[in-house]
Amino acid sequence: MTGISDAPDPAATDGREAGVDTGRLRTGLDPRAHRIVYDQYRPDGDDPVGGELRLISEVDRAHLVMLTERGIVDTARSGALLDTVDALRADDFAPVRDRPMPRGLYLAYEGWLVDRLGQRTGGVLHTGRSRNDLNATTVRLKVRGPYAELLDEVSALTRVLLEKGEAHQDVTMPAYTHGQPAVPISYGHYLTGTAGAVLRSLEGLLDAGREIDVNPLGAGAVGGTSVPVDPARTAELLGFTATAPNSVDAVASRDFVLRILSSAAVLGVLLARVARDLTWWTTEEFGLLRMADDLVGSSSMMPQKRNPFLLEHIQGRSTSALAGFTGAAASMSTAGYTNAIAVGTEAVRHLWPALADTTQAVTLLRLVVAGAQPNQERMRERAREGLTSATYLAERLVVDGTPFRTAHHVVGETVLTALDSGTPLSDAARAHPAVAPTAADYPADWLAPETVAGACAHGGGPGSPAQKAALTRAHTELGRLTAQSGARRARWADAADRLDNAVAKVVADR
C-alpha cells in the first residue's frame, strides 16, 4: 500500500479553484499577465492572409478613388471595382482564400477581380502602380496598430511610475552603486527617475515613426510612372502626412524598421535593468519590496515559494527588439539600394515579434510597479545599516571649512568606528574630535537617512523641492508626447472615414 491517499483533494471541495489557491498563494495570476505569459502556447487566431488582403484592398480603394478623380479611370469601371472590393472585404476575402497563389497573394487577389469583372474593368486596378510601391505602403499601414499599442503601453507605464513615484516620495531607501548601499534616496525618487528614462524612450519611438507617415505610392517599381497619378491625394486618403520625393528611396528604404527597432531596443535595455533591480529587492535577503499574490508564481514542488517570475519574463522579452534590430540590419546590409526582398520581406519580418515582445514587457513592468508594495521599515533599516548618511556628513564638514578630501578621510574613520563599536553613525560622529564641533550644531536625528534624503534637494536629488519639480516636468512631458501620439492616431482614423466617404461617392456616381 502506498502513502498516497485516495481522499478527495480539499482544494476541490471547499470552493477554491484547483490550481489557483496553492495554500501559500490565495489568488491566481493577474489575467493580463496570464495572457502574456501563458497564451503564447495557444493558437493566437492571427489571420496573416486576411490581414494582408485588407491592407492591400485599403490601398486599392484609395488608389482607385485617386485614379477616378484624375480622370485616368472612368467612374463606371472604378465604381464597379470599388463595389466588388468592398463586398470582398465584407466576405472576409473568402473567394480569394481558396485560389492557388503560385505568384503570391496580390496577384491571386487581382486575378479573382479580373475573373469576376473582366479584364477591361478588373485589369485597371494596377494602373500606375507596382507591387514594390504597394508593399512599401502596406507595411506602413500594417505597423500602425502594433506601433500605436506600444506607444500606449509606454505612456501607461510612465503614468504608473509617476503615480507611484509621488505616492512613495517619502519612503526612504538606499540607492545602490556597485551593489552596495550608497546614499539615501526614496523609492519614489527611484521610480521618478525611471519614468524620466521611459519618457525619453517614448520620444525616441515617436521620432522613429516619422517615416511611416510618408506615402510611397507613385514610386512604381523603382522609377516612378508616366501615368499622372496624385500621391498627395492617396496620402490624404490613407492618413499619411507627406509623399516620397524620390522613387528609388521610396521602394528601397525600410529605415523606419531599423529606427523603431533601435528605439525599442533602447527601451528594452531600460526595462531589463529595472527588472534586475526589482528582482534583487524582492528577494528574502533584501526584502525591500513585496509582490501581491496575483503577481507571483508558486513552485510545483516547494510549497513555501513566492516567485516574482514576471520579472524574468520582462528581462527575457525586453531583448527581443535588440535581436530584431540585429537581424533586420544584417538582412538589409546584403541588398543594394533598390527594391529588394532582403529588405522588404526578410528584414521587415523581424519587426513584428519585436514590437509584440517589447509591448508585453512594458505591460508586465507596469503591472509589477503598480502592484509592488515597499517595505518601508526594511528600506529605512537598510539605509541606516548601510551608513548611507556618510556622504552628507562629509559635506557638512566641507560647509564648515574642511577640504573635501580631508573630510572624506575623517568620515571614513568615523564609519569604521561606528562599525567596530556597533554604534549609530551619529554617535560615532559626536565622538570623533574632528567631527564633534560640527555635530554639536545639529539635533540628535540629523544623520537619519530620511532627514538626509530630504536635505538633498540640489542636483535633482530626492529632497522635496527637486522631487516635486521632477514630477511636474515629467507630467508635462508625458502630456506633450501623448498628445502627439493621440493626434497621429486621430489622423489615421479621420483618413479612414474620409476614404469611406470618397469610395461611397464614386460607387454612387457610377
pLDDT digits (tens, 9 = 90+) for 297-352: 776 777 777 888 889 889 999 999 999 999 999 999 999 999 999 999 999 999 99
My answer on whether 188 and 324 are in the same domain is: yes
My answer on whether 108 and 71 are in the same domain is: yes
Q: Number of C-alpha atoms within 13 angstroms, CB side, residue 30?
A: 20
* Domain containing residue 274: 135-379+473-495
My answer on whether 150 and 226 are in the same domain is: yes
My answer on whether 265 and 176 are in the same domain is: yes
167: CB partners within 8 A, 6+ apart: 188
Is residue 3 predicted with pLDDT exceeding 70?
Answer: no
Q: Is 347 a member of any domain? A: yes
My answer on whether 279 and 245 are in the same domain is: yes
pLDDT per residue as tens digits for the range 351-365: 999 999 999 999 999
My answer on whether 351 and 411 are in the same domain is: no
User: Where is the domain boundary, 68, 92, 127?
Assistant: 127
DSSP codes of every residue in 215-278: E-TT-TTTT--SS---HHHHHHHHT-SEE-S-HHHHHH--HHHHHHHHHHHHHHHHHHHHHHHH
- Whose CA is closest to 320, among 290, 293, 360? 360
Alpha-carbon gap, residue 196 to 198, rounded angstroms: 5
Q: What CATH number is attached to the domain comprising 103?
A: 1.10.275.10
Question: Which amino acid would we find at residue 443?
Answer: P
Distance of CA 465 to the CA centre of its chain: 30
pLDDT per residue as tens digits for the range 403-419: 999 999 999 999 999 99
Q: Is 2 a member of any domain? A: no
Q: Is 39 a member of any domain? A: no
Alpha-carbon gap, residue 398 to 130, rounded angstroms: 73
Alpha-carbon gap, residue 372 to 294, rounded angstroms: 11
Tally of domains in the chain:
3
pTM over 0.85: yes
My answer on whether 100 and 151 are in the same domain is: no
Question: Which amino acid would we find at residue 461?
Answer: G
Question: Facing residues of 186 across strands?
Answer: 172
My answer on whether 79 and 176 are in the same domain is: no
What pLDDT band is residue 26 in, cutting at 50, 70 and 90? low
Q: Is 14 a member of any domain? A: no
Alpha-carbon gap, residue 86 to 57, rounded angstroms: 8
Q: Is 459 a member of any domain? A: no
Is residue 199 predicted with pLDDT exceeding 70?
Answer: yes
Instruction: Please state which of the ranges 47-51, 98-102, 428-432 shows the lowest mean pLDDT.
Output: 98-102
Which positions are catalytic? Answer: 178, 299
Q: Is 455 a member of any domain? A: no
99: CB partners within 8 A, 6+ apart: 108, 111, 112
β-strand 289-290 against 373-374: which pairing, if any? antiparallel
Q: What CATH number is attached to the domain comprising 301?
A: 1.20.200.10
Which pLDDT does position 299 carry in this prediction? 65
User: Where is the domain boundary, 109, 127, 145?
Assistant: 127
Using a pLDDT cut of 70, give the percent of the chain over it: 93
Residue 324 near residue 283, CB atoms below 8 Å: no
What pLDDT band is residue 57 in, cutting at 50, 70 and 90? very high
My answer on whether 158 and 230 are in the same domain is: yes
Q: Which helix (H) or strand (E) holds 69?
A: helix 48-69
If you average pLDDT over residues 260-286, what whole number do you get?
Answer: 96
User: Where is the domain boundary, 85, 103, 127?
Assistant: 127
pLDDT per residue as tens digits for the range 416-430: 999 999 999 999 999
Residue 183 near residue 174, CB atoms below 8 Å: yes
My answer on whether 240 and 160 are in the same domain is: yes
My answer on whether 243 and 362 are in the same domain is: yes
My answer on whether 150 and 112 are in the same domain is: no
What pLDDT band is residue 16 in, cutting at 50, 70 and 90? very low
Q: Is 428 a member of any domain? A: yes
Q: Which helix (H) or strand (E) holds 353?
A: helix 351-371
Q: Is 267 a member of any domain? A: yes
